[in-house]
Amino acid sequence: MQYQRLGRLALEVSPLCLGTMNFGWEGQGTSEEDAFRIMDHALDKGINFFDTANVYGRRKDAAPGEGVTEQIIGRWFAQGGNRRERVVLATKVYGGMGDWPNYSGLSALNIRRACDASLRRLQTDHIDLYQMHHIDRRAPWEEIWQAMQQLVDAGKVLYIGSSNFAGIHIVEANEAARSRHFMGLVAEQSLYNLTARTVELEVLPACERYGLGVIPWSPLAGGLLGGALAKATEGRRSDPGFQRRVQEERPKLEAWEKLCADIGERPADVALAWLLANPIVTAPIIGPRTMDQLDGSLRALDISLSAEILRSLDEVFPGPGGEAPEAYAW
Position 170 in a domain: yes
Q: What is the pTM of this model?
A: 0.95
pLDDT digits (tens, 9 = 90+) for 212-222: 999 999 999 99
How many domains is the chain partitioned into structurally? 1
Report the pLDDT averaged over residues 223-227: 95
CA distance 148 to 112: 8
> Is 210 part of the annotated catalytic residue set?
no
Position 233 in a domain: no
What is the four-CA torsion angle of 81, 129, 73, 190, rounded to 10 degrees?
Answer: -130
Q: Which residues does 263 contact at the CB level (< 8 Å), separation at least 6? A: 270, 309
Q: Which of 3, 56, 94, 103 is catalytic?
A: 56
Position 250 in a domain: no
Report the pLDDT averaged over residues 113-128: 98
Task: Please say if the pLDDT value at position 236 is more than 90.
Answer: no
Q: Which domain holds residue 139?
A: 4-222+268-306
Q: What are phi and psi of 251, to 5 degrees?
A: -55, -45
Position 322 in a domain: no
Q: Which residues does 310 contact at the CB level (< 8 Å), separation at least 6? A: 274, 277
Report the pLDDT averaged over residues 256-270: 97
Position 326 in a domain: no
pLDDT digits (tens, 9 = 90+) for 165-213: 999 999 999 999 999 999 999 999 999 999 999 999 999 999 999 999 9
Report the pLDDT averaged over residues 88-104: 96
Q: How far is CA 166 from CA 106, 170, 190, 279, 324, in A?
A: 16, 7, 9, 20, 13
Q: Check: CB of residue 118 under 8 Å from CB of residue 127.
A: yes
pLDDT of 240 = 78
Report the pLDDT averaged over residues 217-240: 82
Report the pLDDT averaged over residues 226-252: 81
Position 229 in a domain: no
Task: Please say if the pLDDT value at position 63 is more than 80.
Answer: no
pLDDT digits (tens, 9 = 90+) for 149-161: 999 999 999 999 9
Segment (H or E) for 92: strand 88-93
Q: Check: CB of residue 51 under 8 Å from CB of residue 43.
A: no
Q: What is the CATH number of the domain that holds 110?
A: 3.20.20.100
Position 137 in a domain: yes
**For residue 325, how many other CB atoms are within 10 A of its CB?**
10
Q: Who has greater pLDDT, 25 or 181? A: 181
pLDDT classification of 116: cutoffs 50, 70, 90: very high
Position 232 in a domain: no
pLDDT of 235 = 58
